Amino acid sequence: MKRLSIITILACLLFSCKKDNIKPYDLAKDNIYLNYANTDSLVYSFAYHPEREKDTIWIPVMISGKMIHRDRHFTLAAVDSATTAVSGKHYEALKASYTMPADSGTIKIPVILLNVDTALANKSVHLTIRISGGEDFATNLPLEIRTKRIQYSNRLEEPAWWSSWAGNLGKYSRVKHQLFLISSGTTDLVIANSYPDWYMEIPRTLYYISNTSYLLQYPFEWVKEHAASGYVLEKRNDLTGDYDFFSKTAPAKRFLLKYYASASKYVFIDENGDQILF
């Protein structure tokens, strides 16, 4: 027993026995990050919802650490050097701080995008946001999981399925595409030969196309029959007889319905100044 004590003392002297002053985990701040499965940009287009003047992107936030029995505060801010969107014009200003509720480890934060800039019909803007610890969290995690880029516009691009039905839909234009989205009852059509029984979708597809054809040929009747859609026709004050077609919830986004006296007919006009015909 005496020999064992001597060996222990010698070992302590030899290796300078000292108790490490390790900081308990409970005294360290937890971290916080954006809970996305990847780091790619979020892409959004108001063109699929032309009746909206604003929309909300919900940003998932998660803590790295423990839940506790009190509210905690953190910040979510725009990264100016990586943002082309303008606060108040393209998105509502972010708050000075946000709250992680007591006994919670995750929350979704609203970022409100605005659809009031008519230039968004021809260009995209992006808003890069970054989460930081604020009052109650550390900011030690990599930038990649604390940062997200939101790219958005009011612009449409020709979908792959359009060419499959060009014989019915005619030449592509963004305005025609938007009128299709408003009136057809769908956002997509089947691509021909995309799967063995694709032809079974032909009756449904022709139904969707006929809905848009009805709007284009009988716009005044369509508005009366679809009052719940919120779309209206308003005559222009320029003695042309032309009308604007728009949603009451997004009056800045208007489509020209032009009157041709020689034919006594109204025709929608696209972004190129061409008539939209089926």
Mean pLDDT, range 60-81, rounded to an integer = 96
- Reported in sequence order, the residue ranges of the chain that DSSP labels E, i.e. its strands, are 31-34, 42-45, 54-64, 72-78, 98-100, 106-114, 124-132, 147-153, 231-235, 243-247, 250-260, 265-268
What is the structure's pLDDT at 21? Answer: 52
**CA of residue 204 relative to chain centroid, distance:** 28
Looking at residue 268, its amino acid is: F
**What is the domain partition of the chain in residue ranges?**
25-153, 162-268
**Gyration radius of the chain's alpha carbons:** 29
C-beta of residue 253 within 8 angstroms of C-beta of residue 154:
yes
Checking if the pLDDT of 161 tops 60, the result is yes
First to last CA, the chain: 102
C-beta of residue 235 within 8 angstroms of C-beta of residue 229:
no
The secondary structure of residue 81, as a DSSP letter, is G
- Nearest 5°: CA angle at 258, between 268 and 173? 25
Query: How would DSSP label each residue in 139-202?
Result: --S-GGGTEEEEEEES-----TTGGGGHHHH-S--HHHHHHHHHHSS-S--PPTTSSTTGGGGH
- For residue 215, give the 3-state DSSP assignment: helix
Strands 42-45 and 147-153: parallel
Separation of alpha carbons 126 and 156, rounded Å: 16
Strands of 231-235's sheet in order across: 231-235, 243-247, 250-260, 265-268
Centre a 10 Å sphere on the Cβ of residue 60 and count the other Cβ atoms it contains: 14
Least-confidence region, from 73-82, 98-107, 148-157: 148-157
Q: Which two tokens stand for residue 221?
A: 């009747």
CATH number of 25-153: 2.60.40.1740
- Higher-pLDDT residue of 25 and 262 is 262
Checking if the pLDDT of 25 tops 70, the result is no
Looking at residue 248, its amino acid is: K
What is the structure's pLDDT at 48? Answer: 87
Checking if the pLDDT of 24 tops 70, the result is no
Centre a 10 Å sphere on the Cβ of residue 55 and count the other Cβ atoms it contains: 15
Sign of CA dihedral 251, 257, 258, 264: negative
Least-confidence region, from 34-43, 149-158, 193-202, 204-213: 34-43
Containing 225, the helix (H) or strand (E) segment is helix 219-225
Mean pLDDT, range 208-224, rounded to an integer = 97
Checking if the pLDDT of 26 tops 50, the result is no
